[in-house]
Amino acid sequence: MMNRQKTLEDLLEFRRTPEESQKALAGFPWDSEGDFVRLEGQHVVAVLKRYLAGEISSKEVEEWANLIECREDINYEEVADAIHTLANPAITHELTQTVATQLIEELRKPNTPLEPSR
């Protein structure tokens, strides 16, 4: 059985499909007393670049972000706005090439709130 940190790192790096990651994470409790891994802007940028290259779909990006959002064992504070946007397209912005490009630009700027336009 994989350890929790390795499973979380695989999730952050999008090394597995969201479905495979979800199955792997099901073996661990949701609650955690500390961060095991830290999601950084570079992780989100890498996933968005894969989306722009056509390697993964907008639905897969949404599922990936949903697996991250609200987990206590992942510190994603630095990119919380981006994760919220990607995990909730029905209430934020549908992921399009324009939105992905804008998010990448915003993630590369230090300390800027993420508000992509439509």
pLDDT of residue 113: 53
Give per-residue pLDDT as tens, 39-78: 999 999 999 999 999 999 999 999 999 999 988 899 999 9
Residues spanned by the domain of 102:
4-107
Asked if residue 92 belongs to a domain, the reply is yes
Sign of CA dihedral 42, 101, 103, 110: positive
Question: Residues 24-31: contacts with CB within 8 Å, 24+ apart?
Answer: 25/67, 27/1, 28/4, 28/73, 30/71, 30/72, 31/72
d(CA 81, CA 90): 15
pLDDT, mean over the chain: 90
What are φ and ψ of residue 116, in 5° steps?
-65, 145
Residue labelled with tokens 């949903």: 66
pTM for the predicted model, two decimal places:
0.87
Q: Count up the domains in the chain and report the number.
A: 1
Residue labelled with tokens 């912005």: 93
pLDDT of residue 2: 59
Give per-residue pLDDT as tens, 2-50: 599 999 999 999 999 999 999 999 988 877 777 789 999 999 999 999 9
Helices (H), the chain: 4-12, 18-25, 41-52, 58-68, 80-87, 97-107
Asked if residue 114 belongs to a domain, the reply is no
d(CA 17, CA 20): 5
Asked if residue 28 belongs to a domain, the reply is yes
Asked if residue 118 belongs to a domain, the reply is no
pLDDT of residue 23: 95
Band of pLDDT at residue 1, cut at 50, 70 and 90 = very low
